[in-house]
């Protein structure tokens, strides 16, 4: 299993702390053997929990210029038509939001191939990720992809109550490929998609998604081929 680069430092420090605790239990406190085993088991489970959090599975991505793929593993929690004010200036868009629990893979992937037309980081609050105001008030980054002329979609990484570190590896005017990693969010979070109104949503509320694999929406083929 490959471990994401964001986890290397954290896991090394955690391992040292857990080993120190175990040494303290055995050599300083001299607790009975059953306590040593119990605490050791708890430390092992804690380490394995964080180890699986930073896993980075290898995935084969099927490129398709009229599919909008899931940017994250998780569960669809919002599908609605809403006004988007940061970039689209109050225009109506289809919002699809994916909640990422601590048990999900937290790698974020480009939903489409295109050009990054807009990037902005916003410091903010740490409301729970499913809170209605989390998309506009929490710490977040906003990316806008231009797929073809006049066809744009937005992706927003949103920090949650426990997710207090958003990483984004791309910037404005950069060309990107569908399914490639663009970021990582630590410890539970949310990713919002804002799609054109003519996009055909292919998922349902409550459905589980796999980043780079699940088709979130489809653009009519005659639209996706426009230049």
What does the pLDDT look like over 4-47, one tens digit per residue? 888 899 899 999 999 999 999 888 878 888 888 999 999 999 99
pTM: 0.85
Select from 84, 110, 104, 209 the least CA-distant residue to 162: 104
Compute the C-alpha angle 104/3/54, nearest 5°: 30
- Low-confidence stretches of the chain (pLDDT beneath 50): 224, 227
Q: Count H helices and E strands in the chain, helices first.
A: 4, 14
Select from 29, 195, 180 the least CA-distant residue to 113: 180
pLDDT (0 to 100) of residue 132:
57
Q: Is 189 a catalytic residue?
A: yes
pLDDT (0 to 100) of residue 123:
83
pLDDT (0 to 100) of residue 28:
80
State CA 130 to chain mean position distance.
14
pLDDT (0 to 100) of residue 218:
96
What does the pLDDT look like over 44-60, one tens digit per residue? 999 998 888 888 888 99
8 Å CB contact between 155 and 191: yes
pLDDT (0 to 100) of residue 163:
52
Q: Is the dihedral of CA 108, 214, 111, 138 positive or negative?
A: negative
Percentages helix, strand, coil for the chain (3-state, rounded to 5) are 25, 35, 40
pLDDT (0 to 100) of residue 227:
46
Selecting among 135, 189, 205, 224, the annotated active-site residue is: 189
CA dist list (Å): 1 to 22, 35, 57, 165: 26, 31, 7, 23
pLDDT (0 to 100) of residue 188:
65
């Amino acid at each position: 299993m490959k471990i994401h680069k964001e986890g290397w430092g954290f896991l090394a420090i955690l391992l040292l702390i857990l080993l120190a605790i175990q040494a303290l239990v055995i050599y300083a406190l001299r607790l009975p053997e059953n306590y040593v085993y119990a605490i050791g088991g708890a430390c092992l489970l804690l380490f394995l929990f964080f180890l699986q959090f930073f896993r980075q599975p290898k995935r084969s991505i099927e490129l398709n210029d009229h599919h909008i793929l899931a940017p994250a593993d998780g569960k669809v929690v919002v599908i609605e038509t809403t006004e988007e004010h940061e970039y689209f200036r109050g225009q109506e868009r289809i919002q699809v939001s994916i909640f990422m629990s601590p048990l999900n893979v937290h790698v974020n992937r480009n939903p489409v191939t295109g050009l990054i037309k807009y990037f902005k980081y916003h410091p903010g609050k740490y409301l729970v990720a499913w809170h209605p105001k989390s998309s506009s008030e929490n710490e977040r980054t906003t990316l806008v992809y231009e797929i073809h002329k006049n066809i744009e979609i937005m992706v927003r990484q949103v920090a949650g109550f426990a997710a207090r570190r958003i990483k984004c590896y791309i910037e404005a005017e950069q060309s990107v490929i569908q399914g490639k990693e663009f970021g990582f969010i630590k410890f539970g979070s949310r990713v919002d998609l804002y799609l054109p109104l003519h996009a055909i949503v292919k998922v349902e509320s409550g459905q589980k998604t796999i980043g780079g694999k699940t088709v979130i929406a489809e653009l009519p083929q005659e639209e996706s081929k426009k230049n």
